[in-house]
Amino acid sequence: MKYERINKNLYIKNRAKFVDKMESKASAVFNSNDIYPISADSTMPFQQARDILYLTGVDQEESILVLFPDAKNDAHKEILFLKETSELIAVWEGEKLTKETAFETSGIKTVYWLEQFDTIFKQVMAEAETIYVNTNEHLRASTIVETREDRFIKKMKLHFPGHRLAKSAPIMHAIRSVKEAQEIELMQRACKITEAGFRRVLGFVKPGVWEYEIEAELMHEFLRSKSRGFAYTPIVGSGKSACVLHYIENNLQCKDGDVILLDVGAEYANYASDMTRCIPVNGRFSERQKAVYNSVLYVKTEAEKMLVPGLLMPEYHKEVGKLMESELLKLKLIDQTDIKNEDKDWPAYKKYFMHGTSHFIGLDTHDLGFFQEPTKAGMAFTCEPGIYIPEEGLGIRLEDDLIVQNSGPAFNLMKDIPLKAEEIEDLMNG
């Protein structure tokens, strides 16, 4: 890992929050991600499963966390299982966690090697009546690939059929959605790295550069700042490509007169940032481009004011839709006839603004949280309205990351990243 070690008190707090919501006489198990193969002996770079990371800080494969707060043996109230390290592993793969460094990382005192898991887990299950299993219940999850968690659940059902199953996911959605101060600091650092990358790009872009060259400039800045790189696959879409919401090819040349949509964000310590900015290839927006830009900026500014405790996301999206409808009327993209004849399930404004305004953000770019429950202080959201006009070869989206606060407007983690059209023009021509 490139990032600096995080204070273990964060993980001690996180585990306490989970345990507080567990039933009595219950244990919970969390597994690391696999290292996924590509072909031959090649593998994907390892990324830790976010739930075990959130609860332990252990950023290493083949790790298992067991929580059993009602254990008769105090040493088994929380247990960490790790792949046993050795001098040979250190030579070929680099140093792994020892029992001592695992405690320094997680605050968990009881650490066993993975080969002891079956023996110790039988002791836990002899006392437990319920087992919390960890399934991916994110609404946008793709669950085609079998995970280490999936294999564990199959094995557990086979060997312990008499135990009652409970779900970890609802607890994780509830506790991960409200950020601790340490988490907000890590997200702020990710945002500052993103800012450095964006400012670098402002001095680099000119007619004739390629989208992938811009991507390379960002990656250079991210890596030199102790980030692993992009928090998600970057979007660098110039001209009409900006109207493709998940355009990731980034293989076109940027032409004079076009606008580039940059939906990019650095990660830091596995925490995501998610920023969108739009910049003119030649350093100056046309009158029409600026009009569309300022409409999006107005909707974003007004939408941010709504991000307060108690907000219901479905109502929020409806209100943002009303703001967007008004702006599209001003831009003459829709008219009153379009509104009169609209499908109530797909309002007229959706032709040019077809996605949601906000999503949870944190350890995942689309983080855990309940969209049907009122927002709380400490929750982190993006705010990202956009207008996409394929017939004009123009797509504008503006996005920042915000923390809901107890009083006043949400705190913008990206408040220092250039946003106004005039500021961007000045920096590109300075």
Instruction: Please indicate, yes or no, if residue 332 is contained in any of the structural domains.
Output: yes
pLDDT tens digits, one per residue of 392-428: 999 999 999 999 999 889 999 999 999 999 999 999 9
CA distance 216 to 201: 10
Average pLDDT value over all residues in the chain: 96
- 215 lies in the same domain as 99: no
Task: Give which of 261, 290, 283, 237 is closest to 421, Cα–Cα.
Answer: 290
Q: Are residues 314 and 362 in the same domain?
A: yes
Q: Answer yes or no: do 350 and 223 share one domain.
A: yes
pLDDT for res 157: 94
**Cβ–Cβ contacts within 10 Å for residue 114, how many?**
13
| C-beta neighbour count of 185 within 10 angstroms | 15
Domain of 344, CATH number, reads 3.90.230.10
High-pLDDT (> 90) share of the chain, %: 93
Task: Note whether residue 350 is domain-resident.
Answer: yes
For the stretch 245-287, pLDDT in tens is 999 999 999 999 999 999 999 999 999 999 999 999 999 999 9
* Mean pLDDT score, 305-331: 97
Kindly report, residue by residue over 116-127, the tens digit of the pLDDT.
Answer: 999 999 999 999
pLDDT tens digits, one per residue of 63-117: 999 999 999 999 999 999 999 887 777 767 778 899 999 999 999 999 999 999 9
What is the per-residue pLDDT for 23?
97
Q: Do residue 206 and residue 134 come from a single domain?
A: no
Q: Provide the pLDDT for residue 37.
A: 92
Residue 34 structure tokens: 């696999």
State which of 151, 176, 201 marks the end of a domain. 176
Instruction: Please choose, from the candidates 147, 110, 141, the residue with its C-alpha nearest in 3D space to the C-alpha of residue 30.
Output: 147
CATH value at residue 27: 3.40.350.10
pLDDT at 150: 95
pLDDT band at 20 (very low <50, low <70, confident <90, very high): very high
pLDDT above 70 covers a percentage of the chain that reads: 100
User: Which one is predicted more confidently, 139 or 165?
Assistant: 165
> Same domain for 308 and 423?
yes
Spell out the SS3 assignment of the chain: CCCCCCCCHHHHHHHHHHHHCCCCCEEEEEECCCCCEEECCEECCCCCCHHHHHHHCCCCCCCEEEECCCCCCHHHCEEEEECCCCHHHHHHCCCCCCHHHHHHHHCCCEEEEHHHHHHHHHHHHHHCCEEEECCCCCCCCCCCCCCHHHHHHHHHHHHCCCCEEEECHHHHHHHHCECCHHHHHHHHHHHHHHHHHHHHHHCCCCCCCEHHHHHHHHHHHHHCCCCCCECCCCEEEEHHHHHCCCCCCCCCECCCCCEEEEEECEEECCEECCEEEEEECCCCCCHHHHHHHHHHHHHHHHHHHCCCCCCCHHHHHHHHHHHHHHHHHHCCCCCHHHHHCCECCECHHHHCCCCCCCCECCCCCCCCCCCCCCCCCCEEEEECCEEEEHHHCEEEECEEEEECCCCCCCEECCCCCCCCHHHHHHHHHC
Q: Do 238 and 117 share a structural domain?
A: no
User: Nearest to residue 86, comparing CAs of 96, 76, 72?
Assistant: 96
Taking the CB of residue 78, how many other CB atoms lie within 10 A of it? Answer: 23
Query: Is the residue at 1 inside a domain?
Result: no
pLDDT value, residue 92:
77
Residue 385: pLDDT over 90 = yes
Answer yes or no: is 170 within a domain: yes
In a domain, 2, yes or no: no
Whether 172 and 204 share a structural domain: no
Q: Is residue 192 part of a domain?
A: yes
Q: What is the pLDDT of residue 54?
A: 98
Please calculate the CA angle 332-307-195 and round it to the nearest 5 degrees.
80
pLDDT confidence tier of residue 142, bands split at 50, 70 and 90:
confident
Whether 157 and 213 map to the same domain: the answer is no
Non-local (6+) Cβ contacts of 122 within 8 A are none
At which of 176, 208, 226 does a domain end?
176
pLDDT of residue 123: 97
State the residue range of the domain holding 211: 181-429
Clarify whether residues 267 and 333 are in a common domain. yes
* Number of domains within the chain: 2
Give residue 100's pLDDT.
95
Residue 89, pLDDT score: 75
Residue 31, domain member (yes or no): yes
Predicted local distance difference test score (pLDDT) of residue 430: 85
Tell me, yes or no, whether 3 lies in a domain: no
- Together in a domain, 52 and 186: no
**Predicted pLDDT of residue 318:** 96
Confidence check: pLDDT of 159 > 90: yes
Confidence (pLDDT) at 93: 76
pLDDT band at 140 (very low <50, low <70, confident <90, very high): confident
The residue from 141, 176, 211 where one domain ends is 176
Q: Within this chain, do residues 132 and 15 fall inside the same structural domain, yes or no?
A: yes
Per-residue pLDDT of 170-208, as tens digits, reads 999 999 999 999 999 999 999 999 999 999 999 999 999
Torsion sign over Cα 119, 122, 126, 127: positive
Tell whether 95 and 134 lie within a shared domain. yes
Q: How far apart are alpha carbons 126 and 104 in whole angstroms?
A: 30
Strand order in the sheet with 64-67: 110-113, 78-82, 64-67, 26-31, 130-133, 164-167
Length of the chain: 430
Rounded Cα–Cα distance for residues 268 and 416 (Å):
18
